Amino acid sequence: IDSDGDYFPDTPQDIRDFYFTVRLDGDVSKLPTWGAEDKYSNQDDWVMCNSQWDWLERCPQMAGYDHGLTAEEADSSMVFMFDYDNEYYPSEYVVDGVPVDDDMGNPGVDGKLQSPGFLGIKILKTVPEMKPSSFHVCHIYNDPATDQEAFDRMLGVHEFEDITDYQGSGVPFPAHDYRGIYTIGPLADFPTGDSVVVTLALGVGSDPDSGRIYSMKKLVQIMNVAQFIVDNDYVLAVEAPTPPILNIEQYTVDGVTEGVMLTWDNQAETNSYFQYYKVSKGMKRADGSIDWDTLATYVDTVGSTSWPPPSGPTSGTYQLIDTDVINGYVYHYSVQAYTKEINDPIPLGQAWSQLTDPKSYKIISPSNPTATETLDDVKVVPNPYIGSAKWNNPSPSDNFPWKHRLQFTNLPADATVKIFTLDGDYVAKVKSNQTVIIGESVDLSSPSVAEWDLMTRNNQEAAPGIYMYVVDSPSLGQKVGKFVIVR
* pLDDT tens, residue by residue, 101-116: 888 888 888 999 988 9
CA distance 262 to 250: 9
Lowest mean pLDDT, pick from 280-289, 299-308, 340-349, 429-438: 429-438
- Strand-pair partners of 180: 24, 137
Least confident of 158-167, 335-344, 455-464: 158-167
Mean pLDDT of 407-414: 90
pLDDT tens-digit map of 261-311: 999 999 999 999 999 999 999 998 767 789 999 999 999 998 999 999 999
Indicate if the pLDDT at residue 3 is higher than 90.
no
The pTM of this model reads: 0.62
Burial class (CB in 10 A: 0-12, 13-18, 19+), 108: middle
| Mean pLDDT along residues 391-397 | 64
Determine the Cα–Cα distance for residues 12 and 6; give it in Å rounded to an integer. Answer: 13
Assigned CATH topology for domain 379-486? Immunoglobulin-like (2.60.40)
Instruction: Give the count of beta carbons closer than 10 Å to the beta carbon of residue 460.
Output: 10
Report the first-to-last Cα separation within the chain, whole angstroms: 98
pLDDT reported for residue 337? 98
Query: Which CATH entry fits the domain spanning 246-364: 3.30.1360, 2.60.40, 3.60.90, 2.40.30?
Result: 2.60.40
Give the mean pLDDT of 66-82.
86
pLDDT at 43 (0 to 100) = 67
- Tell me the per-residue pLDDT of 146-197, one tens digit each, with 9 for 90 and over: 989 999 989 889 999 988 887 777 777 777 888 899 999 999 999 988 999 9
CA pair distance 395, 187, nearest whole angstrom = 69
The DSSP H or E segment spanning 222 is: helix 212-231
Say whether pLDDT at 318 is over 90: yes
Dihedrals phi, psi of 150, to nearest 5 degrees: -65, -45
What mean pLDDT comes out for the span 348-370? 90
CATH 2.60.40 in the chain, residue ranges: 246-364, 379-486
